[in-house]
Amino acid sequence: MSYLELPVRLTTDPNSASDVNQLQTNMTAMLQGSKAFTQINFANTSGTAGLHTESGQLKFKDENVLTGSQGGPTHRIFQFPAGAWLYPTANPAPLDQDSGTNGNEFGQLFDDTTEEFVLNKIDVPYDLNTSGTVFFRAKAYSKTAGSNQSVRLKFYHSARGKGENWDNVFASAISPDNNVSATQDSYDFISWSTSAASLGWASGDEMRIKLSRIGVSSGTTVSGDYSITNLIVRIPRA
């Protein structure tokens, strides 16, 4: 037995039982009229995206409103490419344009001796899963590559809710030491994670963030500027 799954865009009211039941009748007649189907079943697929039945009624649910446990996206993804950041008054990590044969690459340059920063914001998802894990990934490369060198990054966050003072101290999530490529202009992908519960965020918080480079805990730090081209933050949703 084979099955055909059809995406459907409703022009009727998806909350109206009479409208969706009429749609089911029309679809059944159309498909059976094609002679390609001898039996039409609208499976009980409650909780999945698209057209489905709940309690015997045909309904529609957009995948964007599904929870992670219902088959929707398990994380909200926030991406901060170089050039999309704001800058503090003191010690900003400047934007760099690196020219190559096939175009340019942009990066925020972080010094090896002075902690420099870039700033931005995240709207903490209203469906935050505090039992999940937050993932960070930075894509970067050494402006001057060298052997046996490491780098460490620091993600600062200050999340505040409605009625709370925005001018609150920052907490942080720090990456482990990461060995970097010794090949000039080769990307490093630096990943780290922490539990959402340990960060203290609440659903719907307005969150100020900062990114910096700090000294490694052991070994030799990358000499000179380190260029971060992109930062991705994945926040779990319920």
CATH number reported for the structural domain that contains residue 104 in this entry:
2.60.120.260
Place 120 in a pLDDT band, splitting at 50, 70 and 90.
very high
In a domain? residue 106:
yes
Residue 12 within any structural domain of the chain: no
Q: What is the pTM of this model?
A: 0.73
The string of pLDDT tens digits covering residues 8-18 is 555 555 555 56
Structure tokens at 195: 């539990």
Asked if residue 144 belongs to a domain, the reply is yes
How many domains would you assign to the chain?
2
pLDDT in tens, 172-225: 999 999 999 999 999 999 999 999 999 999 999 999 999 999 999 999 999 999
Task: Write down which residue in 66, 90, 106 finishes a domain.
Answer: 66
Same domain, yes or no: 50 and 155: no
Q: Are residues 128 and 21 in the same domain?
A: no
Q: Are residues 129 and 149 in the same domain?
A: yes
Verify that 129 and 165 share a domain, yes or no. yes
| pLDDT at site 222 | 96
What is the predicted pLDDT for the residue at 49? 45
pLDDT in tens, 43-91: 444 444 455 555 555 454 555 556 666 667 889 999 999 999 999 999 9
Contacts of residue 11, defined as CB under 8 A and 6 or more positions apart, other chains included, come to none
Cα(14)–Cα(42) distance, integer angstroms: 16
134-179 pLDDT, tens per residue?
Answer: 999 999 999 999 999 999 999 999 999 999 999 999 999 999 999 9
Structure tokens that stand for 96 in this block: 């760099």
Domain extent at residue 171: 75-236
Look at the chain and count its residues: 238
Q: Which two tokens stand for residue 74?
A: 């398990």
